[in-house]
Structure 1
């Protein structure tokens, strides 16, 4: 029984922290980044040619939290190490889905044509279909609601948005 718990507890902490991070990232994207933290996040909603944007400071903050969790887990309370690993895994998922797949910040380009990846891609394109910080939809990074629900939400917001945001032939802006 001890052997099972030896693996089960860390696995539960890692998986639980990854799931929590999607919830927290969604919440903070909507309420912090599109709220009082708009000063950093605004750079992500504007066209630019730079490889980095001020919004990337959020990744630095979350990386700092993960590093602190690893250190505190090593020296004081071991579960923090596994929670830090979950935060790090979430950061990698974020980098893959958001920076790579959606915003094409990789040296190669790929627009998904079907399945879940297409839904994530389209949901975040709809997030950027609104000018400014208000009236946006789809604040998650790994989970994406169905596109028809997001379109309905955009219509209900009564804000103008770019109806061409889902056209596959359009490349996402380099932001």
Structure 2
């Protein structure tokens, strides 16, 4: 497989994973597997959620594709790379930036990331199985992107941070 074809397969898989994630989230997680996903929509004192087990499915799928495609570096390998890439981006955007599960990246001045955060907050506005919107991870409805452009970005200054800590 040529380098261009490998990049194309990985990129197409990455983009396709957004569609897969949207469909799975809307129809499966908010459907028959709500009993697992519910833990992500309610506040709890635990560090982990039942919802965290979903990474095992995609991680296993990615690992199998990479493993069986590695000897020939065929399309399976590059599909696995695309799935793994999406999983890494998902972790940093969803778990780290949006939900703050690791505290090293809290706020962003980037309009796209702020729009993504707003859309995700709308998704979590309801704690029930029904009534949610915005099921994707990377695609943002234009209305949230426009809101992010209109609202001022958070101010980052040493003085502001020190004043917050004193309160």
Counterpart for residue 54 of structure 1 = 50
Candidates 95, 98, 104, aligned match of 2:94: 98
Q: CA deviation at 1:23?
A: 0.6
TM-score, scaled to structure 1: 0.78
Runs of 5+ in structure 2 lacking a partner? 148-153, 155-167
TM-score, scaled to structure 2: 0.81
Counterpart for residue 69 of structure 2 = 73
Q: CA deviation at 1:111?
A: 2.4
1:141 and 2:137 correspond = yes
Aligned-residue CA RMSD in angstroms?
Answer: 2.1
Counterpart for residue 20 of structure 1 = 16
Would you say how many aligned residue pairs link Structure 1 and Structure 2? 147
Q: Deviations over 1:126-146 (max 9, x none)?
A: 000012010100000111113
Q: Deviations over 1:42-82 (max 9, x none)?
A: 00001112221100111111101101111121357721000
Q: CA deviation at 1:20?
A: 0.3
Q: Deviations over 1:116-170 (max 9, x none)?
A: 0100000000000012010100000111113459x9xxxxxxxxxxxxxxxx8xx
Shift in alpha-carbon separation, 1:140–1:92, aligned structure 2, 3 A:
same
> Secondary structure at 1:106's aligned position in 2?
coil
CA contact (8 A) 1:123 1:147 kept: no
1:42 and 2:38 correspond = yes
Candidates 121, 125, 130, aligned match of 2:121: 125
